[in-house]
Amino acid sequence: MNTPVNVALPSMRIAAIVNSASDLAVGARHACALVEERVRCWGANTRGQIGTGSTSAGLIAMASVVANLTGVSDVQAGGDFTCALSAQTLDAARRARDAPPVMERPKRYLSGIQPSGELHLGNYFGAMRQHIAHQHQGNSYYFIANYHALTTVHDAAKLRAMTFDVAASYLAFGLDPTRAVLFRQSDVPEVTELSWLLSTVCAMGLLQRAVSFKDKLEQGFEPKVGLFTYPVLMAADILAYDSTTVPVGQDQIQHLEITRDLVTAFHAIYGEVFVRPEPLLGEAPLVPGLDGLKMSKSYGNTIPLMAAGKPLKERINRIVTDSTPLEDPKDPEPRVAFKLYSLFATAEERAVMADKYRAGGFGDGHAKVELRAKIEEVFADARARRAHFDAHPDEVEDVLREGARQAREVARATLDRARRAVGLS
Ligand code: ADP
Ligand code: TRP
C-alpha cells in the first residue's frame, strides 16, 4: 500500500533547492545528495509540505530521497499538493539517481597552515608532506593562514617571520610553484568579505559547539570574537577557491563539518553558489612529541623542522626514555625515539632497529643517535634549499605574489557569485 509522506520544510527554501538543482543541471545524483542533507538536517517524517508543485529534476530527486529515507514507496510532493508522484515516477527518479553523475568536478585541493609557531615534524608528516604530494594529482592551492594566526599571535615581527618560515619550508620540501599555487591568506582579502557573508547565515550554536574554541580557552587564551568566528573564516578560505578536497588532520574535521553546514545554510536561502568540499584524512601518523603526547607548538615538545646540529641534538636528547636496564630485551613499538625514527627510515631500517631493541643491549640512547643521523640525512636536501631561500627571500616573495594573483582570480569570481546571490550587486 502506498502511504503518502509529507515533510515539514519551509517551502521557500525548497523552492531554492528545486531551482538550483534543475537550473544548474548538475544531475539527479547531486540533487539527491543536496536534498538528502536538507531533509536530514531539517528532520523528515514531520507533517507538512516538501516542495512546490512542479516535476522538475530537483523535485523528483527530492521525492525519491524522501522515499528512501522514510522507507515508503510513494511520496506526495508539492507545496500545493498538486504533484503526487506515482511509484513509476519514483522508479524513474531512482534510476536517475543511480546513473553516473552528469558532471564531475576535477579535484581541487586546498589547505592552509597557520604561521603561529616554529614548524615541526608533526606539521610536516601530518600535513605538508601530503599537500606537496597532491600537487601531482590535481590542482592544488596552499596558503599561509596569517589572518587565522592573528587570533593567537599579537607580535608583528614574529608573524612576518613565521609566515616566511612556512612559505620557505613548503618550497624547500618540494612544493613546486608551477604545479601548486602557494600564497598568503591576507593577499586575498576577498576571503574576509566572504567570511562576513557566511557569518550572516551562521547560527551561534554552530560555533559554540566548536571544540577548537573550547581548547583554546582551556589553553588560557581570552575568548576573543576572532577566535570564536575562526571557523567561519576557515569556511570562507575553503569556499572561495571552489575547493573539492581539503587535506587536513583529524583535529580539523569539525571545521570542515561547519563549512559544509554553512554551505547548506547559505544555499537554502540563496540557492547554489559554492562547491561542497570534502575533507581528506591522509594516512598521516599522529607524530608524538618529545614527551610522548601529540607533538604541538602549544605543548613545547617539538622537534623543529629546520633544527640541525646542536639544537637538534638537544631536542632529541629530551625524548622520554624509561629505566629498563640496557641489557634487557625491549618492545620497540611504544617508544617515542623508535616512532620518530620510523618516520624517516625505510621498512628494512625500521625492522633492523626493532630487532636490536628486542635482542637486548640496545636502548633509547642508541636509537636517539640513529634518529639524529637519519634526520640529518633525509632532510639534508631540504635544508640546503631552505638555506638558499633564507639568503634569497625575494624569491619566496615572488612565488607568494604570483600565487596570490592566481588565487585572487578564483576568489574574486566566487565572491562575485555570492554578492549577486545575496543582493549586494
Ligand atoms: P600545532 O598543534 O603545533 O599548533 P597546527 O594546529 O598549526 O599545529 O597544525 C598544522 C597542521 O599540522 C594541521 O593539519 C595538523 O593536523 C598537523 N599536525 C600538527 N601536529 C601534528 C602531529 N603531532 N601529528 C600529525 N599532524 C599534526
Ligand atoms: N585551521 C587550520 C589549522 O589550524 C588552518 C586553516 C585555515 C585551514 N584555513 C584553512 C586548513 C582552510 C584547511 C583549509 O591547521
Shortest-distance Cα residue to atom 13 of ligand 2: 111
Determine the 3-state secondary structure of 290 from DSSP.
coil
* Mean pLDDT value across residues 161-184: 97
Nearest to 239 by CA among 402, 112, 58: 112
Helices 364-378 and 380-391 meet at what angle, rounded to 10? 50
In terms of residues, how long is the chain? 425
Q: How far apart are CA 96 and CA 220, in angstroms?
A: 53
Mean pLDDT on 237-250: 94
Q: Distance, CA 267 to ligand 1 centroid (Å)?
A: 31
Q: Give CA torsion, residues 383, 387, 392, 397, to 10 deg.
A: 40
* Contact 149 CB / ligand 2 (< 6 Å): no
Collect all residues with Cβ–Cβ distance below 8 Å to 233 and sequence separation of at least 6: 147, 148, 191, 192, 195
Please give the distance, rounded to the nearest whole angstrom, from the Cα atom of residue 198 to the centre of ligand 2. 17
Q: Which three cell numbers, joined as nine digits, stand for 372? A: 639524529
In short, whether 298's Cβ falls inside 6 Å of ligand 1 is: yes
Q: Residue 112 — pLDDT band, cuts 50, 70, 90?
A: very high
Name residues whose C-beta falls within 8 Å of residue 333's C-beta, 6 or more positions apart in sequence.
Answer: 354
For 314-382, the three-class secondary structure string (H helix, E strand, C coil) is HHHHCCCCCCCCCCCCCCCCCCHHHHHHHHHCCHHHHHHHHHHHHHCCCCHHHHHHHHHHHHHHHCHHH
Ligand 2 proximity of 234 Cβ (cutoff 6 Å): yes
The per-residue pLDDT for 283 is 74
Contact between 252 and 127 (Cβ < 8 Å): no
Is the predicted pLDDT of residue 50 greater than 80, yes or no?
A: no
Angstrom distance (rounded) from CA 51 to CA 40: 15
Confidence of residue 389 (pLDDT cuts 50, 70, 90): very high
pLDDT digits (tens, 9 = 90+) for 55-96: 444 555 555 555 554 444 444 444 332 233 445 545 555 555
CB-based contact 284:130 (threshold 8 Å): yes
Tell how far the Cα of 126 is from the centroid of ligand 1, in angstroms: 6
What pLDDT sits at residue 60? 54
Q: Using the structure block, give the residue that is written with the C-alpha cell 529534476.
A: 57
- CATH number for the domain formed by residue range(s) 309-378: 1.10.240.10
Whether residue 327 is predicted with pLDDT greater than 50 in this model: the reply is yes
Index of the ligand 1 atom closest to the CA of residue 284: 25
Q: Does residue 112 have its Cβ closer than 6 Å to ligand 2? A: yes
Fold (topology level) of 108-286+389-422: Rossmann fold (3.40.50)
E strands present in 235-383: 245-248, 278-281
245 in contact with ligand 2, CB cutoff 6 A: no
Q: Quick one: which H or E segment has residue 310? A: helix 309-317
pLDDT digits (tens, 9 = 90+) for 193-243: 999 999 999 999 999 999 999 988 998 999 999 999 999 999 999 999 999
Where in the chain are the domains? 11-98, 108-286+389-422, 309-378
Does the Cβ of 230 fall within 6 Å of ligand 2?
no
